[in-house]
């Protein structure tokens, strides 16, 4: 693209692409990369990993296993990740031998809430008011304006895990100790109107492409639905895209990045967090975008031009957790969901992740409802929620 530095020569089809992590995100990346003609080698310790079942090669080893990392590097000229909590030493080992995207420095920012919030603030973009907490003394020194708040572990938290709502210093101390007294951030609880996410891709040459903004609804800290296009004012959507683009450019990020935002009751935006990888809220792109987030991830890794991120139709993505396999009474009775009923809903596109065991709260798949209008997609999703027993 004019004005951008030239990237390295693209890797030709049949080249091996490496992947750290074998969950559902890796599975969908593998399918997209294989569709483009690439072979995929995944490093993951789980013999039953969803990605390992489809990848051309599965190195079953720990993420910090020196022999497995060396084998991955000898086979694959480029390596990516499907989750952010890969050991930094593993990324550094690989980066000394092959191209790794996103880079270890970018992943390190997203791995730690303290580093993440500090970086976003340095970009001139607002976050929720917060304080860094490394000790009980830090909590006792926090400003009263941060309560009620949410205490979040700085590292390894996801889907609502590793955090607690706290109304006072005393509650925060109890929560801090229950989290193992690990470094945390205390965020002021904000008056939210909605939540958004911006999915963005940045290539090796600095080219940036952004998908339409999604509006997200969570249940128990886990994404429930993502609606695209988000039913918000164009000016708010543009502001979120500008902020996400600034973050990606300042990080010199290479890969697919998701930036999540809070929309406050007064209409202002605050960055919540970022994910240095494809994201649950971008799964709609498999069925309703010209280029899915996973194809884009493969394009970036191979050094190919970025794809068009236009939405082809309005859509709503519904997460399918293991709870769908359980009757409400008795609590432990499992049943097969009504897939025929689900697929009879107009515009329904089902994706199951190949996981052997359905457990409550475990992400087992998703279904995207593609409609001619936003209302048609929403109505289809509402019908499926009723069929699956998820209403409430």
Residue 318 resides in a domain: yes
Coil/strand/helix, residue 177: helix
For 244-293, the pLDDT digits (tens) are 999 999 999 999 999 999 999 999 999 999 999 999 999 999 999 999 99
Coil/strand/helix, residue 68: helix
Residue 4 has pLDDT above 50, yes or no: no
Coil/strand/helix, residue 286: helix
CA angle 70, 71, 75 (to 5 degrees): 115
Residue 8 resides in a domain: no
| Confidence band, pLDDT 50/70/90 cuts, at residue 363 | very high
From 188, 203, 221, give the residue that closes a domain.
188
- Residues 158 and 61 grouped into a single domain: no
Question: What is the pLDDT at residue 2?
Answer: 36
CA angle 336, 337, 342 (to 5 degrees): 145
For 46-97, the pLDDT digits (tens) are 999 999 999 999 999 999 999 999 999 999 999 999 988 888 899 999 999 9
Asked if 100 and 94 count as a contact pair (C-beta separation under 8 A), the reply is yes
Q: What is the CATH number of the domain that holds 199?
A: 3.30.470.20
Structural domains counted in the chain:
3
Question: What is the pLDDT at residue 204?
Answer: 93
| Confidence band, pLDDT 50/70/90 cuts, at residue 1 | very low
Residue 313 resides in a domain: yes
For 313-360, the pLDDT digits (tens) are 999 999 999 999 997 765 677 889 999 999 999 999 999 999 989 999
- Residues 210 and 171 grouped into a single domain: no
**pLDDT, the chain, mean:** 94
| Confidence band, pLDDT 50/70/90 cuts, at residue 36 | very high
- Residues 209 and 172 grouped into a single domain: no
Residue 122 resides in a domain: no
Coil/strand/helix, residue 288: helix
d(CA 101, CA 6): 17
For 198-253, the pLDDT digits (tens) are 999 999 999 999 999 999 999 988 999 999 999 999 999 999 999 999 999 999 99
Task: Determine whether 338 is exposed, middle or buried from the number of CB atoms within 10 Å of its CB (0-12, 13-18, 19+).
Answer: middle
- Residues 297 and 338 grouped into a single domain: yes
Kindly report whether the global pTM for this prediction surpasses the value 0.75: yes
Domain hosting 244: range is 192-387
Residues pairing with 61 in the sheet: none
Question: What is the pLDDT at residue 156?
Answer: 75
From 145, 165, 188, give the residue that closes a domain.
188
CA angle 77, 104, 305 (to 5 degrees): 50
Residue 4 resides in a domain: no
Q: What is the CATH number of the domain that holds 144?
A: 3.30.1490.20
- Residues 262 and 317 grouped into a single domain: yes
- Residues 288 and 368 grouped into a single domain: yes
Question: What is the pLDDT at residue 8?
Answer: 72
From 162, 188, 214, give the residue that closes a domain.
188
d(CA 149, CA 165): 6
- Residues 209 and 344 grouped into a single domain: yes
Q: What is the CATH number of the domain that holds 94?
A: 3.40.50.20
Residue 327 resides in a domain: yes
- Residues 224 and 355 grouped into a single domain: yes
């Amino acid at each position: 693209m004019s004005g951008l530095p030239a990237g390295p020569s693209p890797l030709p089809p049949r080249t091996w692409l490496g992947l750290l992590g074998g969950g559902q995100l890796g599975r969908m990346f593998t399918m997209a990369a294989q569709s483009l003609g690439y072979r995929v080698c995944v490093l993951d310790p789980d013999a039953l990993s969803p990605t390992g079942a489809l990848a051309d090669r599965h190195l079953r080893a720990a993420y910090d296993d020196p022999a497995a990392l060396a084998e991955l590097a000898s086979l694959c000229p480029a390596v990516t990740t499907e989750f952010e909590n890969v050991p930094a030493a593993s990324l550094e080992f690989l980066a000394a031998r092959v191209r790794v995207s996103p880079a270890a420095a970018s992943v390190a920012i997203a791995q730690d809430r303290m580093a993440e919030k500090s970086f976003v603030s340095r970009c001139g973009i607002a976050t929720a008011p917060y304080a860094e907490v490394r000790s009980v003394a830090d909590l006792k020194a926090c400003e009263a304006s941060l309560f009620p708040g949410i205490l979040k572990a700085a590292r390894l938290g996801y889907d609502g895990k590793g955090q607690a709502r706290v109304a006072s210093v005393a509650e925060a101390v109890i929560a801090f100790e229950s989290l193992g007294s690990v470094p945390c951030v205390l965020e002021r609880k904000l008056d939210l109107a909605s939540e958004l996410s911006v999915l963005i891709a940045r290539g090796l040459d600095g080219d940036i492409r952004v998908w339409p903004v999604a509006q997200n609804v969570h249940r128990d800290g886990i994404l429930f639905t993502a609606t695209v296009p988000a039913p918000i004012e164009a000016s708010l959507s543009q502001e979120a895209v500008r902020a996400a683009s600034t973050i990606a450019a300042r990080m010199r990020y290479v890969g697919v990045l998701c930036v999540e935002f809070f929309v406050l009751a007064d209409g202002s935006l605050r960055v919540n967090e970022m994910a240095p990888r494809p994201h649950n809220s971008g799964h709609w792109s498999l069925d309703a975008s010209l280029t899915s987030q996973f194809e884009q991830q493969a394009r970036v890794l191979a050094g190919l031009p970025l794809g068009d991120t236009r939405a082809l139709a309005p859509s709503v993505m519904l997460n399918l957790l293991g709870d769908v396999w359980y009757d409400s009474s008795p609590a432990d009775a499992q049943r097969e969901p009504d897939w025929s009923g689900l697929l009879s809903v107009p515009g329904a596109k089902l994706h199951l992740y190949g996981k052997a065991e359905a457990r409550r709260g475990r992400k087992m798949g998703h279904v995207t409802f593609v409609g001619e209008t936003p209302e048609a997609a929403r109505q289809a999703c509402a019908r499926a929620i009723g069929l699956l027993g998820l209403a409430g």
